[in-house]
Each structure stands twice: as C-alpha cells, then as structure tokens.
Structure 1
Amino acid sequence: MASTKNSSTGSRPQATFAEAVSRALGPHGGVLLIDAECVLCNRFARTVIRADREGLFVLIPNHSETSARLLAETRIPEPPTGTIVLLKGGRSYTYSDVSLNVWADLGFPWSLTKIGFLIPCALRNFVYKLVADNRYRLFGKTTACGLLSPEERRRVLMG
C-alpha cells in the first residue's frame, strides 16, 4: 500500500481547496456558483437553501476569490456569462441542466421537475439564455444578499 506522506517533509500533502470542498459535501453534494447581483439568481439560491434539508449544496458568488480558486483547482474553464454553474461529481453543469439537476437531488416534490429532461436540451437552453440575457432588466440587480438565518449563512462561501 502506497503511503500518502510527502517523502521530502514526512508530512501528508495538503488537500487542495477543491478536494476539501468535495470531501465536505460528500458524493451527492454540489457547489452552485451564482451571480450574486442577479435578483432571480438570488431567489433561486434562497429557494435551494431552504429546500435542501440535507445540506447537499453550498453556494459561492461566481465572481469571488473563492469561485476563482475553485475553478482554477478543478481546471474548469470560466463559466459563460449569465449562467449559474453546478459543480458536482467532478463535472460542471450550466444553463438549464443546473436547475434540473439541483431540483432532482432535492427529492419530492422538487424532483418532479425531472420531466424537464424530456424537453430537448437545445430548446431548454434557448429559453434559459433568453431569460439570462434579460435577467437584470426583468428582475433587477441587487448589491445586498437578503437576510439569511445563521444556518443559511453557513451554506454560502464568501470571499
């Protein structure tokens, strides 16, 4: 059995930030990178936090140092503008796949949205991008996160 110790220092190698986040979330958890200025994105994030009773997801503002560090360590390219990103199981999801995968993981009644996977991806993403491109005009911008309980704040990684 190979040792996990660093031979030059005799100590265990430091886990990367991405590895630490992955271990903390477990095999079924995920990280959501959200547009912290988008009112619609904030509503989505708050709904996920409140519906996620098992603590499967953590949220990170997508233009933060924490987000940049996570993307760099996982070698995931900078996400397209106007999409929430889900990092889960070593994969990244964008556009309509994010919400469908998140809702599916949250159990009943949210999991009923899996029927959305029957809609062709190109059509789902066309509608997603249409809303995303107009999100500030339709829903507005915010500079402050809504009031979160201490438990909810624990699920948002700032930085």
Structure 2
Amino acid sequence: MEKSIILFDGVCNLCNASIDFILKRDKKNLFLVGALQEEAGKILLQKFNARTDYLDSLVLVEEGKIFFRSTAALKIAKNLSGLWPIFYPLIILPAWLRDPVYDWIGKNRYSWFGKKTTCRLPTPEEKAKFLTLEKLPN
C-alpha cells in the first residue's frame, strides 16, 4: 500500500507542531510528510494541478486524490492513534461549514504562533517519514 502524503507549510510554527503531533500518533506508519516549499512538495502539487506556491493549508494526497483544509485534517485524524478518529464523522458536514474556522486559524497562524526563517529539517529518527524526490508516487 502506498503511503499517504501530508504537505505542510515548513516555516509555520503551528504547522510544524501539527506535524510533530501527527508523527507521534502515526502508529501504523501510514504517512510521509514534506514541506510545501520543497521541490518534492511542489512537484506533487503540480501533478494535481494545484498552485505550486500554495501555503494556505495542510494538503493530503491519498489514494491518488488530493485534499485540502478541514477535509485533509479530518482524513488525517481518522488514521491517528488515540481518540482523534472520533472527529472523522465531522466529514459529513459540508466543507463550506468546516473550512471557515480552518481558514481563520490559517490566516492568523504566523501572528499567533510565529514563523521560522527556514523549513524544518527532520531529525535522524524522522528521516524515513519525510518526503523526498525518490519517494514521490508515480
């Protein structure tokens, strides 16, 4: 089974904390993660005809489809260990109801949580979980 790929804003402190959170709870080893700003992330976005300068939300690529914003977050939560899958049923709500809260947090993330000057680098233990050009799906 091909791993699902999560793309995130590599300089956003909130996004990086979210990736740390996901990696700790990805007990089934289902996800690869990568920064939207890196070459592999841009190539993947381009493959799905998404803007290569997109930084507005987490992006999930799963089973040949791409998901954004609250849909991506809920699909990720469904596969995490702990109680996080209990949030997945919110997917039945239309995105136009779910996404405004996601967008509001996204618009304020730098002012509330700060921003790094460069993308996050994986620790040696995390390296296998990070997307590289070699790990891009066909």
Same fold (TM over 0.5): yes
Which residue in the other structure is 2:67 paired with?
Answer: 93
Which residue in the other structure is 2:98 paired with?
Answer: 124
Which residue in the other structure is 2:78 paired with?
Answer: 104
Contact 1:76 1:92 in 2 (8 A): no
Amino acid at match of 1:133: K
Distance 1:147 1:75, change over 3 A: closer
Task: Flag structure 2 segments of 5+ consecutive residues without an equivalent.
Answer: 134-138
How far apart in 2 are the matches of 1:142 and 1:93?
25
Relative contact order, CA 8 A, sep 6+: which one is greater? 2
CA radius of gyration, larger in: 1
- Deviation per residue, 1:65-100 (Å, 9 max, x gap): 11122233x343226431111001111000101110
Which residue in the other structure is 1:59 paired with?
Answer: 33
Which residue in the other structure is 2:51 paired with?
Answer: 78
Distance 1:55 1:143, change over 3 A: farther
Amino acid at match of 2:4: G
Amino acid at match of 1:45: I
The worse-fitting range, judged by mean Cα deviation, of 98-107 and 114-123 is 114-123
Which residue in the other structure is 2:136 paired with?
Answer: none
1:46 aligns with 2:10: no
Aligned-residue CA RMSD (Å): 2.2
How far apart in 2 are the matches of 1:104 and 1:57?
12
Percent of aligned pairs sharing the same letter: 27
Residues matched between the structures, number: 131
Task: Flag structure 1 segments of 5+ consecutive residues without an equivalent.
Answer: 1-25
Alignment TM-score, normalising by the size of structure 2 = 0.82
Pairwise CA distance, 1:121: 1.9
